[in-house]
Structure 1
Amino acid sequence: MASDRSAASEALVFYDEAADSGGETREQYRQVQEWFSRLTISEVQALEAQRDQSFRRQGITFTVYGNEEGTERTWPMDLFPRIIDADEWATLERGLIQRVTALNRFLDDLYVGEQAVVNDGIVPRWLIDSCTGLTREAMSVPVPRGARCLVAGIDLVRDGDGTHRVLEDNLRNPSGISYVIENRAAMTKLLPAAFANTSVRSVDHYGRSLLRALQSIAPPACSSDPTVVVLTPGIYNSAYFEHAFLARSMGVELVEGRDLLVDNHVVMMRTTHGRKRVDVIYRRIDDDFLDPVVFNPHSTLGVPGLMAAARAGTVSIANAVGNGIGDDKAVYAYVPEMIRYYLGEEPIIPNATTYLLWDDDQRAEVLARIEELVVKPVAEAGGYGIVIGPHATEEELEDARRKIEADPRNWIAQEVVNLSRLPAWTGDDFAPRHIDLRPFVLCGEQVEVIPGGLTRVAMREGSLIVNSSQGGGSKDTWVLGTHGDTPDDEAEAAEHLAARR
């Protein structure tokens, strides 16, 4: 049964990013397609070997827990890029700014506002109260500019009709931007000819943009030169490379909890020259481990008294504590209504079709056709716990049914989105593989979308799981400039990145 369903799913028509319905190469891919067609198998393999050697030398790695090959592996980047033309990107950019603006207003409304979205019946109160991401310790803790989600990673997919849809919102500690930048640096070194006569917008400014955004949310009483730090759980975290990369890119200190202390509601950093006041913390530690005084008392990763300092307004924390409520996949279903409510606009990028399983009618429909749908736990991330009906075994489907019936609030179902495909190297040829896109949005004085984002690719044939934590790969994502733009010198950007190391 499972194999029959899998075979049927592969018979579906998927949107091809590189070729139109007639099989002709799309205009933005013609030059790159021609360039790659001239490479022999041995030449591609040699380029891959150079890529891997460079990544290993620089320590560009990612941890896959439970991976039988080992805890740490070289970051997987496919050489064939994803290309987005200027007009398409302009629409995505507007849609992302719209969505993240509404989500920030929603979070600020809940934590320091009047909870108008609940009182007016847009989002059910019982749903909010039952969210595991709701952090009552963050109530009435202000965030300058209302930028509770200073860094957002919004997962986009393109369905079989070519329509972009939002699959998930990542508002806590979205990871992956360092790999966006390193993918670009690697491509400009390995394949400079592929960039010839192509105006590709740069991503190398991310560190500067992130620093400006963080400085913009410094406490009102802060000096004109706020001290910003990146707070990491340490070297054993799966995204530690990114933590170190971002601190280096911004020119700020990378610290662990033991490097900070709170004195009279002020956060201080221990340095070789004595204590130094900290104004903004870009934390890459989950809420539960951030402050043992109010959260997990056994945590050695956080800073005792940090929440008291935030409540006193002497330090700003990004992303804000409590953002997990916006990551809840059941709350996700209400984001289009949030956009209408807070902004008075229609959503530019639609959600994937989603079923809320506490509703008796929707649950009955899902259970009747679960083999056709994707079932997700509302509070998990990284692809964990997902059951893709067409690819699941009968045992997996029956287990999903039992879990849904036992706790329907904690599950959603979605129609299978036939993820678009793009050629990827399989070892001896290029073959179509499913992809998604995680653009990154910064919210400081202005809302800025970094051109492109992390294109993730399912490296196994037929797989729809693209998450890096589940063994997926990545691609460099090129956003083309308009004809009036000054072409970005990507080779210079790569040299600048290398010079900072």
Structure 2
Amino acid sequence: MDWSTYRTTTFDELIQADGQPRPAARAVVEYLGSLSGRDIAERQLAADVIARVQGITFTVYSDGRNVDRTLPFDLIPRVIARSEWERTEAGLRQRMQALNLFIGDIYGEQRIVKDKVFPAMLLQDSVNFRPQCVGIKPPLDVWAHVCGSDLVRDGDGTLYALEDNLRIPSGVSYMLENRMVAKRVFPELFQTSRILPVDAYPAQLYDTLAALSPRPGDRPVIAILTPGVFNSAYFEHAYLAQAMGVELVEGSDLFVADDDCTYMRTIYGSQRVDVIYRRVDDMFIDPEVFHPDSVLGAPGLIRSWRAGKVALANAPGAGVADDKVVFAYVPKMIKYYLDQDPILPNVPSYLCHDADECKYVLDNIEKLVVKPANESGGYGMLIGPRSTKAQQRTFKQLIRDNPRNYMAQPTLSLSTAPIVTKQGPSARHLDLRPFVLSRQDIYVTTGGLTRVAMEKGSLVVNSSQGGGAKDTWVVDLPETEAH
């Protein structure tokens, strides 16, 4: 691979501005440089074949056909030094602790609202606030057991938190599969470099779920509740169930009996379920309480949860903090609940419910990224510098009609990393989604899922819109090589 023509206009995760590899990436850059173009092409083909054979798929909606495709995998890893990662991990632990305290407070005394740190109107207008959850005390006082926080790096090298995904975060199976593919393609590098492992996640997730069991003296019965095979992340549901050795169920497999316990139908008869890792949205998990026509959940599930007979992860209602407007208040939450300064800064945000900030957004919409509060997957947003005047007019009206539902952020010069192309290595923008598990303690994956825009210049990295993925290597450098 010829690095001599590699160019980028922003911070690059592998290559420094002077063209030299970053210390943590030196081994992989030099190794790739020793391979011919044909060697690289063969290894990329091998990676693609492995992904197809393993069935690593994701539904792509952007072309209107809603078909499953193999998740594009680029074989050049993203590399992070362990020393940098330790600070990032500390920042993620801090965010997760504050977010769980916030959710518990919102469904409890609402001190943060009474103290006017968090506006009451945001809570009143929140589409993810569940009044049915007020007064509930989940096991360990944890509401969000699994979180995927999206991180981005700006052109000056600053790492920011972009958003926190606490409803049904997906992507961890792709992180695990990416590592498996990378080990097969680059066995030499895994033998000679100190690349920290990621394969403890299924065991850590199992322990997190098991800790919630209402029958702590027995081996818990754990199930993953999936919407079914047509869900875009079904591959992940099946993957995690197999990796943890737990049941994969749909709503029709469950029922709640008169004793308020939740049971699973099996070929051997009914079996009580202790913990459900739900991959179904709040509004569809219990037709008795939420959407009455839903067939994705089970009637009585909330009754069983309220009675303490079954644990649900993530807890219903946790999505109140999975709101891009609420996100802007996380630094204040950290200060309020923990009396600490944030370790990871938020991407600066402008909240359209504030009259002055709304005016700024409307006056500068062509420079900003405008996002609705509760969309996911990169949908429903406007990237100002790449938008048309007509699109800008449409978004201005949307903001005026419902200012609470919109926020804006500056268009960052997102960091890049090289991907393999027929013309050689080429820079693409990317982000990072580490996964955080909360129980008595907090576990953070070593690295996470690096999502990469496969189109040159694109800022959209979401898998559902055609983005790809890279393996993420957190490398423990010897002291002599760290600088």
Gaps of 5+ in 2: 1-6
Name which of 285, 291, 294 aligns with 1:290: 285
**Structure 1 residues 142, 456: closer, same or farther in 2, change over 3 A?**
same
Distance in 2, Cα, partners of 1:218 & 1:37: 51
Contact 2:61 2:465 in 1 (8 A): no
Aligned to 1:450: 445
The CA deviation at 1:401 is 0.9
Contact 1:422 1:435 in 2 (8 A): yes
- Determine if the alignment matches structure 1 residue 253 to structure 2 residue 247: yes
Distance in 1, Cα, partners of 2:126 & 2:65: 36
- Determine if the alignment matches structure 1 residue 39 to structure 2 residue 35: yes
Distance in 2, Cα, partners of 1:41 & 1:105: 52
Distance in 1, Cα, partners of 2:388 & 2:187: 45
Name which of 223, 229, 237 aligns with 1:229: 223
Aligned to 2:425: 430
Contact 1:147 1:217 in 2 (8 A): no
The CA deviation at 1:406 is 1.3
Q: Deviations over 1:314-367 (max 9, x none)?
A: 111000101221111111110000000110100000101100111111111111
Contact 2:8 2:416 in 1 (8 A): no
Q: Deviations over 1:383-403 (max 9, x none)?
A: 001111111111111111111
- Determine if the alignment matches structure 1 residue 314 to structure 2 residue 309: yes
Q: Deviations over 1:272-325 (max 9, x none)?
A: 211111110000000111011111111111010000001111111000101221
**Structure 1 residues 426, 70: closer, same or farther in 2, change over 3 A?**
farther
Q: Deviations over 1:197-240 (max 9, x none)?
A: 21111111111000000011122x54331111110000000000
Once the two structures are overlaid, the 10-residue window that deviates more, 326-335 or 55-64, is: 55-64
Q: Could you tell me which amino acid in structure 2 is paired with residue 224 of structure 1?
A: D
Contact 2:415 2:430 in 1 (8 A): yes
Aligned to 1:262: 256
Q: Could you tell me which amino acid in structure 1 is paired with residue 296 of structure 2?
A: L
Q: Percent identity?
A: 47
Q: Deviations over 1:429-473 (max 9, x none)?
A: 111110110000011221010101001111111111111111111
Distance in 1, Cα, partners of 2:137 & 2:49: 46
Gaps of 5+ in 1: 1-10, 485-501
Q: What TM-score, normalized to structure 2?
A: 0.95
Aligned to 1:336: 331
Q: Could you tell me which amino acid in structure 2 is paired with residue 303 of structure 1?
A: A
Distance in 2, Cα, partners of 1:275 & 1:316: 18
- Determine if the alignment matches structure 1 residue 372 to structure 2 residue 370: no
Aligned to 2:4: none
Distance in 2, Cα, partners of 1:329 & 1:404: 14
Q: Deviations over 1:229-275 (max 9, x none)?
A: 11000000000000001011110010111111000211001112111
Distance in 1, Cα, partners of 2:13 & 2:438: 30
Aligned to 1:406: 401
Q: Deviations over 1:96-142 (max 9, x none)?
A: 0000000001011112x211111111101111111101011122222
Distance in 2, Cα, partners of 1:428 & 1:259: 51
The CA deviation at 1:22 is 2.4
- Determine if the alignment matches structure 1 residue 109 to structure 2 residue 105: yes
- Determine if the alignment matches structure 1 residue 281 to structure 2 residue 276: yes
Aligned to 2:195: 200
Distance in 2, Cα, partners of 1:96 & 1:222: 28
> Is the partner of 1:382 in helix, strand or coil?
coil
Q: How many corresponding residue pairs?
A: 472
- Determine if the alignment matches structure 1 residue 129 to structure 2 residue 124: yes
Q: Could you tell me which amino acid in structure 2 is paired with residue 277 of structure 1?
A: R
The CA deviation at 1:69 is 7.0
Distance in 1, Cα, partners of 2:244 & 2:378: 30
Contact 1:142 1:313 in 2 (8 A): no
- Determine if the alignment matches structure 1 residue 470 to structure 2 residue 460: no
Distance in 1, Cα, partners of 2:420 & 2:465: 19
- Determine if the alignment matches structure 1 residue 77 to structure 2 residue 73: yes
> Is the partner of 2:61 in helix, strand or coil?
coil
Aligned to 2:24: 28
Q: Deviations over 1:48-95 (max 9, x none)?
A: 222222222221111112536760101111100011111100100000
> Is the partner of 1:238 in helix, strand or coil?
coil
Distance in 2, Cα, partners of 1:70 & 1:332: 30
**Structure 1 residues 208, 12: closer, same or farther in 2, change over 3 A?**
closer
> Is the partner of 2:393 in helix, strand or coil?
helix
Q: Could you tell me which amino acid in structure 1 is paired with residue 412 of structure 2?
A: V
The CA deviation at 1:416 is 1.1
> Is the partner of 1:291 in helix, strand or coil?
coil
Distance in 2, Cα, partners of 1:399 & 1:245: 41
Alignment of 1:484-499 (within 5 A): none
> Is the partner of 2:206 in helix, strand or coil?
helix
Distance in 2, Cα, partners of 1:26 & 1:51: 25
Contact 1:41 1:428 in 2 (8 A): no
Distance in 2, Cα, partners of 1:427 & 1:464: 21
What is the Cα-based RMSD across aligned positions, in Å? 1.5
- Determine if the alignment matches structure 1 residue 118 to structure 2 residue 113: yes
Q: Could you tell me which amino acid in structure 2 is paired with residue 228 of structure 1?
A: I
